Amino acid sequence: MSLGVVVTGAGHGIGRALATRMSAGGARVVVNDLDAEAAARVAAEIGGYAAPGDAASQDGVAALVETARGQLGAIDVWFANAGIDWGHGLDAPESDWAACLEVNALAHVRAARLLVPDWVERGSGRFVVTASAAGLLTLLGSPTYSVSKHAAVAFAEWLSATYRHRGVVVQAICPQGVRTRMLANAGALEEVLSHDRALEPEEVAEAMWQAMADDRFLVLPHPEVADYYALRATQPDRWLDGMNRLQRVIEEHEEGASR
């Protein structure tokens, strides 16, 4: 039987591309998004099942898991893709911090609590987090996004280290710039994020599809991220100096735009 797949935040961008690629590969796909119209549209396009709603809160995740199991029978792959980038700078309000941590990190914890016991019992299951390169490096301008995406990677690492011998595969997708609404709204950061080339969402989805063949933990649609990640780990001051130079470029750009 074909894989039963759930993709959260699948109404647009990377989520839509993931749902489309999984369906093209023969999977039965549940399309989740807060935008009910977008979820229904994507589900119709790919012959999947629309399950609009909140994929972050405890009740919302529980409802989505129940709906998906009703449609699929069993959930084989969970794409924890939904994410937000609310809050910029040191003055980001507490509400934005709370929202980013809820959607970008705690949603994964809540889903795993409901999925992993069943996967351990049957000896197979796959949990995929769309973490962004921000989860390995950082995103200038947005501490809320950077911290919550680092938390997403940390949780994925813990999940993999704890359950991989039980048949649970955990993967983290970590692209840089991707041509989505988030990138389009990034302002001066758009140029920085697109430095190594902004990918189309479909390219990210194809990289993920290929990575499902070897179960690698880090899925890097931008291969350059591996070098940046190594530099950050081995030469943190050099890496931070480089990031600070980028910060100054951004500030100069913003000051020039405001004149």
Active-site amino acid positions: 145
Going through 51-102 in order, the beta strands assigned E by DSSP cover 77-80
Spatial distance between the Cα atoms of 99 and 213, rounded to a whole number of angstroms: 34
Is the Cβ–Cβ distance between 209 and 21 less than 8 Å? yes
Q: Which of 223, 216, 236 is nearest to 175 (CA)?
A: 223
DSSP string across 222-257: STHHHHHHHHHHH-HHHHHHHHHHHHHHHHHHHHHH
Q: How many residues does the chain have?
A: 259
Contact 34, 53 (CB under 8 A): yes
**Tokens of residue 65, six digits:** 């898991």
